[in-house]
Amino acid sequence: MNDTVETVFFCFGLPVLLIGLAYLMIFEPIRRRRKKAVSAGSAWAKRHGWRYQKADNALVGRWQGEPFRNRGGAADVLYGVHRGRNIMMFTYGYHEAGVVTQSESFYTIVAVGLGSQRPWLQLKPRDEPRSHQLFDVFDIQSQDNQYSNHVFQSGLADWLLNDPRSRQQPVRFENADLLSWWGGPIDCDEAFATAEFLCDLADRVPDAARHH
């Protein structure tokens, strides 16, 4: 009888026990993190009069280039209006499948509406600037040199070089948005501080470039 009980346990009970332990070790911490993120995002949105949405995967196809892939999703999305501009802040994440393991990458995305289409223009701070000149401090990529010349003239280049916030993460003009991103899930206050910087930057784009 005892042998039968032991056999049944090892055949059925032990696998169930192992599955339960795996759930507690892997999935339960994920569930708790999601619950905490939803609570934090909802509370922040309520305090600031913004709207919170758990997920909006339609956002993933809105932009091209870093850090977006042709997959993944947007979570903990915050929508609001600040200084007359529509703003979105969220966590973008995607899975990377390897031969043995699978990893997941997360990025904070902040996008500020510009009100009109702009040519694609990206600035990424260099790790070790060779000088204090604009093109030594930033890796600059543009699809319209005339537009980028308009943007950097009229004092904007000096403003970028003298505002330390511009060295913290990359920025990109794309379609009708100005966006920034960095690694890690969203911290609402940190993202909002970046939105403030992006609004400052958008306000300093010369009129000639705005109507290019």
SS (H, E, C) 99-162: CCCEEEEEEEEEEEEEEEEEEEEEEEECCCCCCCCHHHHEEEEECCHHHHHHHHCCCHHHHHHH
pLDDT in tens, the chain (212 residues): 455 645 644 555 556 555 555 545 545 655 677 788 899 999 999 999 999 999 998 898 899 899 998 788 999 999 999 999 999 999 999 987 654 556 789 999 999 999 998 899 999 999 888 888 898 999 999 999 988 888 888 789 999 999 999 999 999 999 999 999 999 999 999 999 999 999 999 999 865 455 45
Instruction: Compute how many other C-beta atoms are within 10 angstroms of the C-beta atom of residue 108.
Output: 23
Model pLDDT, residue 149: 87
Q: C-alpha distances in angstroms, 189 versus 7, 49, 91, 134, 144?
A: 56, 14, 13, 29, 34
DSSP letter (8 states) at residue 11: I
Helix (H, G, I), strand (E, B) or coil at 209: helix
Model pLDDT, residue 42: 95
Model pLDDT, residue 30: 59
Helix (H, G, I), strand (E, B) or coil at 29: helix
Model pLDDT, residue 184: 95
Model pLDDT, residue 28: 60
Q: C-alpha distances in angstroms, 161 versus 127, 157, 158, 188, 210?
A: 14, 6, 5, 26, 21
> Computed from CA positions of residues 117, 147, 88, 197, in that sequence, does the dihedral angle turn out positive or negative?
negative
Model pLDDT, residue 181: 98
* Distance in angstroms (rounded) separating the CA atoms of residues 29 and 23: 9
Model pLDDT, residue 17: 56
Nearest to 60 by CA among 107, 101, 15, 28: 107
Model pLDDT, residue 95: 80
Task: Write down the domain spans for the chain.
Answer: 1-49, 50-210
* Distance in angstroms (rounded) separating the CA atoms of residues 212 and 119: 9
